[in-house]
Amino acid sequence: MTLGFLSCGISRADFLEQEAPRLEKWLNKNYHGQMAYMENHFDKRLDPRLLVDGAKSVVSLLLNYYPSEIQNPASYKISKYAYGEDYHFVIKEKLKQLLQFIQEEIGEVNGRVFVDSAPVLDKAWAAKSGLGWIGKNANLITQKVGSFYFIAELIIDLELEYDLPTTDHCGTCTACIDACPTQAIIQPYVVDGSKCISYFTIELKDNLPQEMKGQFNDWVFGCDVCQEVCPWNRFAKPHQEPLFEPKAELLQFSKRDWQELTKETFNKVFKNSAVKRTKFEGLMRNIDFVKE
């Protein structure tokens, strides 16, 4: 059965002891801004056994989204992960197939699939199971393919062989810290989410703060800067997932096309896309903000 995942790692489903104080400190400093949902289910975020009865294993999977073609470089930019169909639906379908396959092969296995939509610390689990290390930009990085991939989990009540974490290969590099347009990476491995362009353009529902004017570098949905400058991403290879292919119009849009975007075109180009999260009005707010 070929589902197209890059790699898979397995960890024992128990309490994430090292993450608990880190998450608490991050929340106490309000680095989550208006993402109030980050404060919810604190215990569940740290213990998968509270999410799945009898959980024994966390199976972490990576799915590549690095595109073969990128947008017109003279245009406004959206994160590469949002070029095609919304990854939540694409990956959830794959995970359900994987769980079904396990159940057919092994018998009664109870489990749940998770794709960035429940209180699960994806990167912590992926790192724990040896799929990569959490870099200075707080993204999961691997030596072979960099960081342009989604992380998903299958939490099941089946005892499996567990993988070991890998080592950190950021070394003395500070490329991501130096390049962040809004200085959101306040120290190695710590990101103030409330200063991140992704937060401003996707999560923040209020008006964008005027002091950030001129700092978005033409990003109108998300931001890939800390990944683009990461030396490990020179090993990124294009994905093979047809559903992640962008609509042709998206790659060709000029700044004028973005500025004159109608709701009708928005619905057509971003049908089933993660960009729908901002809604049409939110995207236009972002475009107006970065307009010169």
Residue 157 is a catalytic residue: no
Q: Tokens standing for 108?
A: 């009664």
How much is the CA Rg of the chain, to the nearest whole Å?
19
202 backbone dihedrals φ, ψ, rounded to 5°: -120, -50
Question: What number of other Cβ atoms are within 10 A of residue 88's Cβ?
Answer: 15
Please pick, among 14, 86, 116, 192, the residue that the annotation labels catalytic.
Answer: 116
Strand order in the sheet with 149-156: 7-12, 57-64, 149-156, 111-114
Q: Cβ contacts of residue 179 below 8 Å, gap of 6+?
A: 225, 226, 228, 229
Q: Tokens standing for 13?
A: 């489903």
Task: With CA atoms as reference, report the closest residue to 110 among 44, 51, 45, 55.
Answer: 55
Is 169:50 a contact under the CB 8 Å cutoff? no
Q: Would strands 77-78 and 219-221 be described as parallel, antiparallel, or unpaired? A: parallel
Q: Tokens standing for 83?
A: 């070029």
Give me the active site residues, please. 116
